[in-house]
Amino acid sequence: MDPSQSFEDQLGALLPRLRRFAHTLSRDSADADDLTQATVERALRSKAQWQPGTRLDSWAYRIMRNLWIDTARSRSRKARIEATPEEAELVGEDPRTAMDAALDLKRMMAAMERLPDEQREVVALILVEGFGYREVCEMLDLPMGTVSSRLVRGRNRLLAMVGEQ
Amino acid sequence: MTVPDEKFFAWLDGELSPDEAALVEAEVARSPELARTAEQHRAMQSRLKMAFDTVAEAPVPGRIRPNANVVDFVAAKRARAAGRWGSPAQWAAMAATLAIGIFAGTLIVPRASGPVEVQGGRLYAAASLNRALDSELASAPGTGPVRIGLTFRDQSGAVCRTFTDPQSSGLACRNGSRWQLRGLFAAPEGQSGPYRMAGGMDPNLAALVDSSIAGDPLDAAQEKAAKAKGWR
């Protein structure tokens, strides 16, 4: 990240990654884009709280994660009402029948959606976003043991859902 | 399992010190069960990553922009109450140009020396695979384990090449100075090894090529010319 860039430009450069993270947390692309937009708005409003010289990506990811947690209650209510049998079928479907990236993305989103929130965020940050364990501990304010045990449970569960053979 | 789960996965994620990693590595080398678990989890992570990477590689919807002020966002949000950004059809069209397949449980990605490496959230060819993609011509195959099949330009104009090695086949396309993987398919059970090379292209790979290619594959002279230009 180029520190001579404006805050807005640096945030703009992060957008593809933020959208990816939002997709790992959200139940569909529309929700993910809403979450990304809300994160951008919050980041712009909170610009003064960011300390230049520190990592903007961790800071922005943290904002997104907190916004996502804030909506957890309404989200789980919505999920109870709207979770469909098709979604469950989608998760268990044989990936060999569909080579389309969009479909595999849907399938992976459906699988992530079925992880408990605290496992999903750790799996997303480490396995998809590529953060190190220590960075995730700092981002989530969690001790190392908690992060690594959630990661173990989350990835085992994910493998049971999407893995085969 | 002879290695505690947390330690095993920390090893898989490259989080252990070299000394600790060597100990786990030795355990994995001794235990076929651990080796298989490692392989399944690597494959699962690759598939997860490739699926979500399609999001990071797609254009950011116009409604999400940080270089406007907050007031603009509020206005945009109100306007959006009438209808969400974009249409499903737009997304479908965008997605249709991308096809990525990866089979869980069958992709082998050793961290240090494997043919694939993850960087900046993308999968790239490494080591022998990268060398073959860079230097081999389909018309003059080398002696290495990797064979190049088709070379063509995709719809964005990037040079893409299919490849086959004893365990897998796949498609990689030029991204800057590197080869980014678009798909990697394991050889069907019982069909790995040199026999497979005599057979036709994996049907999944063929489908991926079909959905990516613009025009015809390059012929030998065009392939040579593309190599001379650094695959630009």
Amino acid A119: pLDDT? 96
Q: CA A57 to CA A54: how far, in whole Å?
A: 9
CB contact B137 to A (< 8 Å): no
In-domain check, residue B62: no
- Taking only the tens place, the pLDDT of each residue in B104-126 is 333 334 333 457 777 766 788 88
- Using the beta-carbon criterion (under 8 Å), do B98 and A130 form an inter-chain contact? no
pLDDT above 90 coverage of chain A, percent:
56
Are B178 and B207 found together in one domain?
yes
Are B9 and B84 found together in one domain?
no
Among A127-131, A139-143, B68-72, B219-223, the range scoring the smallest mean pLDDT is B68-72
Q: CA A15 to CA A2: how far, in whole Å?
A: 15
Nearest CA in chain B to A6: B67
Give me the mean pLDDT over the A51-58 stretch. 90
Contacts A–B by Cβ distance under 8 A: 150
Q: Which of A2-6, B32-36, B99-103 has the highest mean pLDDT?
A: B32-36
Are B11 and B86 found together in one domain?
no
Token code pair at residue A34: 């809403």
Q: CA B147 to CA B160: how far, in whole Å?
A: 14
Give A77 to chain B, closest Cα distance, Å.
22
Give CA separation, B162 vs B104, B182, B188, B201, in Å.
20, 10, 17, 9
Are B11 and B79 found together in one domain?
no
In-domain check, residue B63: no
Q: CA A58 to CA B5: how far, in whole Å?
A: 27
Are B40 and B151 found together in one domain?
no
Q: Could you tell me the residue range of the domain that residue B23 belongs to? A: 5-57
Q: Is residue B90 predicted with pLDDT exceeding 70?
A: no
> What integer best gives the mean pLDDT of chain B?
74
- Taking only the tens place, the pLDDT of each residue in B172-206 is 999 988 998 888 776 665 544 443 333 467 777 77
Could you give the number of structural domains in chain B? 2
Burial B75-94 (b: 16+ CB within 10 A, else e): ebeeeeeeeebeeeeeeeee
Are B135 and B178 found together in one domain?
yes
> What integer best gives the mean pLDDT of chain A?
83
Are B99 and B211 found together in one domain?
yes
Amino acid B198: pLDDT? 36
Nearest CA in chain A to B119: A130
Are B43 and B106 found together in one domain?
no
Provide, as residue numbers in chain A, all residues whose Cβ is less than 8 Å from the Cβ of B55: 16, 19-20, 23, 32, 105
pLDDT above 70 coverage of chain B, percent:
70
Q: Is residue B92 predicted with pLDDT exceeding 70?
A: no
- Using the beta-carbon criterion (under 8 Å), do B15 and A132 form an inter-chain contact? yes
Are B10 and B101 found together in one domain?
no
Among A83-92, B85-94, B170-179, B195-204, the range scoring the smallest mean pLDDT is B85-94
- Taking only the tens place, the pLDDT of each residue in A22-54 is 999 998 888 999 999 999 989 988 988 998 888
Greater confidence (B22 vs B155) lies with B22
Are B86 and B49 found together in one domain?
no
Are B42 and B136 found together in one domain?
no
- Amino acid identity at A132: G
Greater confidence (B88 vs A130) lies with A130
The domain boundary residue, chosen from B57, B81, B96: B57
- Using the beta-carbon criterion (under 8 Å), do A149 and B43 form an inter-chain contact? no
Among A97-101, A107-111, B47-51, the range scoring the smallest mean pLDDT is A97-101
Q: CA A65 to CA B62: how far, in whole Å?
A: 22
Do B54 and B95 form a contact (C-beta atoms < 8 A)?
yes
Are B53 and B73 found together in one domain?
no
Greater confidence (B16 vs A84) lies with B16
Q: Is residue A17 predicted with pLDDT exceeding 90?
A: yes
Q: Which residues have CB under 8 Å from B100's CB, separation 6+?
A: A99, A101, A104, B50, B51, B54, B182, B183, B208
Q: Is residue A133 predicted with pLDDT exceeding 50?
A: yes
CA geometry: angle A82, B81, B96, nearest 5 deg = 65
Q: CA A58 to CA B93: how far, in whole Å?
A: 32
Amino acid B189: pLDDT? 52
In this structure, the dihedral spanned by the alpha carbons of residues A11, A116, A114 and A108, taken in order and rounded to 10 degrees, is: 40
CA-based torsion, A163, B103, B23, B32: positive or negative: positive
* pTM given for the model: 0.57
